[in-house]
Amino acid sequence: MGSELIFRGHEAQHQSDEYQPKPPKPWLAVIRPVRYLLREQRFVFLLIGIAIATLFFSLIPSTSSPSPALTFSGESYVRHDSISGESFLTAESTRLVPHRVIGAGKVPLGLKRKGLRIVVTGGAGFVGSHLVDRLIARGDSVIVVDNFFTGRKENVVHHFGNPRFELIRHDVVEPLLLEVDQIYHLACPASPVHYKHNPVKTIISFLLFIYFFFDISTNVVGTLNMLGLAKRVGARFLLTSTSEVYGDPLEHPQKETYWGNVNPIGVRSCYDEGKRTAETLAMDYHRGAGVEVRIARIFNTYGPRMCIDDGRVVSNFVAQALRKEPMTVYGDGKQTRSFQYVSDLVEGLMRLMEGEHVGPFNLGNPGEFTMLELAKVVQETIDPEAKIEFRPNTEDDPHKRKPDISRAKELLGWEPKIPLHKGLPMMVSDFRQRIFGDQKEGDSTAF
């Protein structure tokens, strides 16, 4: 019987054709980026970048200490410490828009105030040149616009060569295109001799429209041009008006709420009514076009750089006494005026421009003097033997003039500091040097 071989190994197993993936490896999602960084040496550059960033931010000084109130101005915040220039910016832009006080903030240590770009019309004149001095000293860039009708290059020649100073010979009755942050509009003949010499020129320095006899032309002039510039570039506009808007006042002292007593057809009306109309224009642009305006009503001001023969009482008395001529008193000499030194006025103008109040504000010294009292102060300062000569009074000459400055004290924190007996000698020193050229060493005309 044949033997039968029987295979008793493992029975054949069924082979499947289906794909079976390998089980996922743990931490593969983490290991793969690490291998990539190490292989391509990107990890080294990442560490270097982190180190540089850490070093940069560690060098920025801490600014956690509180600082004075900040004012929002366009794209920047301005910290105001004082009107004399203690201000700092936290951004590059200095375009002025309506200010909003936002409370305490922080300013990086060592960050200096970025100066504003300011135009001063009439900046080569008496008051304008002193204002330019203060603005330049504060660190601003100043553009002086003057036609030199009453202004003098000598008043600003010491700024020639300063990269932050520009001088443009230009009449404001013609349009002017500039990019500025603030406009101080001082351009106008302010003394009786000058504005009576060319009354039409005086009034068109301010008026909105003047319609000529021919009825064919309308000129856009003076204040309108400057207000239009302020509107176009978003600049703040300060108008220097005058106490002459009160005319021959029936209220004494004069408050800003007093509407005045002005002769609209008198020889002084070109100046009086021109300023009144300029105030009207400024307020209309403020209400209708949203222009930020400030209005200052300036009372009698004296100091260095006044025109020597401009017909104003202080300059007349000083020049006449220095020349050994009789001091001319018009009328009985009992008319009163209030005299402020020019540095006090400049301080008031700057406070008004930087403040939040439109005005108008009286800017003057409430100390009141008759013309005879003023003549005696000039005698005491220059020549006790100086003579006084009386002449008939001029037309529409106000009998009394004294400002009520309570509003400026309250809202601007301003009041004059220099009395007449201290300010007059500085003016006399300047006049003596300009008339005779013999200024003594140590004399000062600066304020």
Enumerate the active-site residues. Answer: 271
CA distance 258 to 102: 35
DSSP string, 113-138: PPPPEEEEETTTSHHHHHHHHHHHHH
DSSP string, 67-131: -SEEEEETTEEEEES-TTS-EEESSS-----S-EEEEE----TTPPPPPPEEEEETTTSHHHHHH
Contact 76, 89 (CB under 8 A): yes
CA distance 124 to 186: 10
Tokens standing for 357?
């109040």
> Can you state the percent helix, strand and coil of the chain, rounding each to 5?
35, 20, 45
Tokens standing for 209?
């429209």
CA distance 364 to 51: 61
Amino acid, res. 115: G
Tokens standing for 33?
């980026």
User: SS3 sequence, 43-59?
Assistant: HHHHHHHHHHHHHHHHH
